[in-house]
Structure 1
Amino acid sequence: MSKFDYGDRAKVADFAEIDLRPGAIVWVVGVFADRPSGGYFEKFPTGVVYSVEYEDGTSTEIHEDLLMRLEDT
């Protein structure tokens, strides 16, 4: 089960790698709970991966351990 749903807002954890923009507010625009094996997703640990969009319109994929609910910040 995923921690976030499509359209949720979240915060990138302060301890995330610098290229993921720690502290940034993002929107969840994709949820990969059942990831295909091999390829691109192999670089992520086990668990849900999300596509997120930053306020400037750019996007990336991020593991659920690096996202926080806004009310938890």
Structure 2
Amino acid sequence: MGRLFSKAKRTHSEHFESSSSAINDAVKLFSQLGRALLDAKETGTDVLDAVATVITWDQIGPGVVLTQECRDKRCY
């Protein structure tokens, strides 16, 4: 019984560490994206160009899927 509990605890801990890394990455990206958008507004530069300095369009899709999955599973 102790082994089963230890394995479950370890699995949960590994999942939590993985999830918190994904959450940290998403928060960092959101911060960078927000800063780029605010700078674009302040300087009058193109918003899409500002977005492109932070993330590529190919990265946006998987990033959105990851954050939605994490939100739905309550990764935190």
Band of TM-score, shorter chain: under 0.3
If each structure's strand is expressed as a fraction of its own residues, which one has the higher value?
1
If each structure's helix is expressed as a fraction of its own residues, which one has the higher value?
2
